[in-house]
Amino acid sequence: MASSLTKDSASTPGAEKTFFGHPRGLATLFLTEMWERFSYYGMRALLVYYLVSGGADAATGSQGGGLAMTAAMATAIYSVYVSMVYLMAMPGGWFGDRVWGARKTVAIAGFVIMGGHLALALPGQAMFFVGLVLVAAGSGLLKANISTMVGHLYDGPEDPRRDGGFTLFYIGINLGAFVAPFVIGTVGKEHNWHLGFALAAVGMGLGLLQFLLGTRHLSPKSNIVPNPLSAEERRTVLLRITGAVVVLAVFYGAVVALGMYTLNWALVPLTLAGLIIPVAVLVRIKRDKDLSATEQSKMNGYIWFFVAAAIFWMIYDQGGSTLSLFADSKTADTVFGLGFSATWYQSLNPLFVMALAPVFAWLWLWLARRNQEPNTIVKFAMGLVAVGASFFIFIVPMGMASDGKVSPMWLVSIYMIQTIGELCLSPVGLSVTTKMAPQKYASQMMGVWFLAVTAGDCTTGLLSLAGVDLNGIGIIAMEASLAVAAGVAVFMYRKKVQALMGNVH
């Protein structure tokens, strides 16, 4: 990236180098996040396939060597894992604000993530789950703090370069996510699972190295702990954590000793926690008597957006589980005579995001100049209808697959429609979260937004654990109907929701 660093002739004497006109520290954070997303999405592209893979197939040449789980169990584990990544963003932000500061937290997170991928690179079910826990915890720590550090590079919200900086940072995320399935996915699925996971560790290692070498270019604010714990608070936190660990160790030790332990003893509590915690957080904020009547009204309106987002992510995140399994078993693996790995489908979403995001940004501005831009509520409704429509379309190739493998273009179309839904819902969801947040919870509400992903994925996980076949046409049709119905409901009640939102548009 050295070639993209240029002299800023308009700056003070001694002109500092910039990154496409932005503070040089953005190059450090751009590359750190790009490599971290490379490792995360590469591993995620392998996850479900590794879980369901059993013995090697001599007829097809498949490598086997996975954990030989059922599709339902693989979907449950995948869903719980993704939900925990987003759930951990809240404690990750807390560590950055109160214990280590954003810079130190991101550095520690990098080592934790790399250790997780290395654990996945070792054979055996025990190391696999150790690796998942480490990657989820590290991703939560990093996700919550690296975006904050991007903001630190600019002179407050009014800095005209700020939005452009976050756009460049977002490109880094999608660039890493786009390349990963081609490299990690192909090596892992088609050649050796554990070599693929090891490549994810190498990716995170490169990101961590870039971060450590480039920290001198970051804002000094990223090294400050904004609200450090007092000595008494530290003791209280340590006692609570120690107590929780001891209780869990005793409980699960007893379960193992009695010979009762199965994976459900871990997955069901995590799934329920992923549903209960978001509800508990929203209830706690809603019941806070310090909130003004206006803030209470905005929170009532925000709950509509939260529920809508949870339904959206419930379907959208099945792109890495339900759609991945269909891609491997029911979709042709050649185009114009050229073969490819089923993991490559995971590159479609970041590709479409990079291609379509500028188009949507232009479209909203073009409509705004004509006073025709849809408001936030309508955009949410559009996102829900789009993701529901993608699953209605999915029913068609599912029916056709009984007679053989279907064209890859079916899945290409489904991922593109889901990405259109994402671009309608996700960016405005982040924006409306900051606008509707009560002043007292301004720094916590972004974590609340991530909890919508947790709730959606945990719903998928709970359905799988309950024995519901998420790969069946019936449940796909039900999910599609739910999303479209929710989109229609949000649109029909848009005036009521707008009234609750007050001056937020």
Closest by Cα among 468, 492, 461, 497 to 82: 461
For residue 434, report the phi and psi dihedrals to the nearest 5 degrees.
-70, -35
Residues 272-297: b if buried by 16+ CB within 10 A, e if exposed: ebbbebbeebbeebeeeeebeeebbb
Distance CA 210, CA 68 (A): 37
Exposed, middle or buried, 352 (CB in 10 Å: 0-12/13-18/19+)?
buried
Condensed to tens digits (0 to 9), the pLDDT of residues 163-187 reads 788 888 888 999 999 999 999 999 9
At 60, the pLDDT band (50, 70, 90 cuts) reads very low
Distance CA 127, CA 350 (A): 30
To which H or E segment does residue 64 belong? none
More confident residue, 489 or 503: 489
Exposure of 164 in the CB half-sphere (CA atoms within 13 A): 10
Q: What angle do CA 82, 51, 121 make, to 5 degrees?
A: 85
Report the Cα 251 to chain-centroid distance in Å. Answer: 31
Instruction: Answer whether residue 462 shows pLDDT above 60.
Output: yes
Distance CA 493, CA 505 (A): 15
Instruction: Answer whether residue 63 shows pLDDT above 70.
Output: no
Instruction: Answer whether residue 51 shows pLDDT above 80.
Output: yes
Condensed to tens digits (0 to 9), the pLDDT of residues 100-134 reads 999 999 999 999 999 999 999 999 899 999 999 99
One-character DSSP codes across 323-382: HHHHHHHHB--EETTEE--GGGGGGHHHHHHHHHHHHHHHHHHHHHHTT----HHHHHHH
Closest by Cα among 82, 497, 105 to 319: 82
Distance CA 334, CA 342 (A): 10
Whether the Cβ atoms of residue 80 and residue 274 lie closer than 8 Å to each other? yes
Q: What angle do CA 366, 430, 184 make, to 5 degrees?
A: 100
| Range from 142-151, 179-188, 253-262, 470-479 carrying the lowest mean pLDDT | 142-151
One-character DSSP codes across 115-176: HHHHHHTSSSHHHHHHHHHHHHHHHHHHHHHHHHHHHHTSSSTT-TTHHHHHHHHHHHHHHH
Q: What is the mean pLDDT of residues 179-198?
A: 95
Distance CA 124, CA 371 (A): 59
